[in-house]
């Protein structure tokens, strides 16, 4: 039960069924929008990674130019959108950054 609460991808079938049955949403809409929203809605991870990297750089007295900070933010957003909706993908995306 705990795994299904953590994993966004694991709860999608239940969410789709509830949306279709309880709210009367067309299955074509729910089956397109819910997986897309589960993948794209990673805004917390997209914000967390640049803050973490800038913090670590400041701890180690590494100067980051504004261009590097922008690049870190853009790459972080792309990685957050491309990351799967499963636990522990943050480790792999931080390593990629």
Q: Would the pLDDT of 23 be above 80?
A: yes
The larger pLDDT score, comparing residue 6 to residue 91, is at 91
> So what's the pLDDT on residue 80?
75
Q: In sequence order, what are the residues at sequence separation of 6 or more whose Cβ sits closer than 8 angstroms to the Cβ of residue 72?
A: 49, 50, 53, 54, 64, 97
> So what's the pLDDT on residue 4?
40
Q: What is the pTM of this model?
A: 0.57
Q: In sequence order, what are the residues at sequence separation of 6 or more whose Cβ sits closer than 8 angstroms to the Cβ of residue 64?
A: 54, 57, 72
> So what's the pLDDT on residue 8?
62
Report the C-alpha gap between 13 and 27 in whole angstroms.
Answer: 12
- Output the six-digit token pair for 55: 């913090």
pLDDT in tens, 48-77: 888 888 899 999 999 999 999 999 888 888
CB 80 within 8 A of CB 1: no
């Amino acid at each position: 039960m705990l795994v299904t609460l953590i994993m966004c991808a694991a709860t999608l079938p239940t969410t789709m069924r509830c949306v279709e049955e309880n709210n009367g949403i067309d299955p074509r809409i729910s089956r397109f929008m819910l997986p897309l929203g589960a993948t794209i809605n990673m805004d917390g991870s997209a914000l967390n990674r640049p803050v973490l990297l800038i913090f670590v750089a400041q701890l180690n007295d590494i100067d980051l130019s504004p261009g590097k900070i922008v690049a870190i933010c853009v790459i972080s957003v792309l990685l957050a959108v491309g990351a799967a909706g499963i636990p522990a993908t943050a480790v792999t995306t931080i390593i990629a950054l």
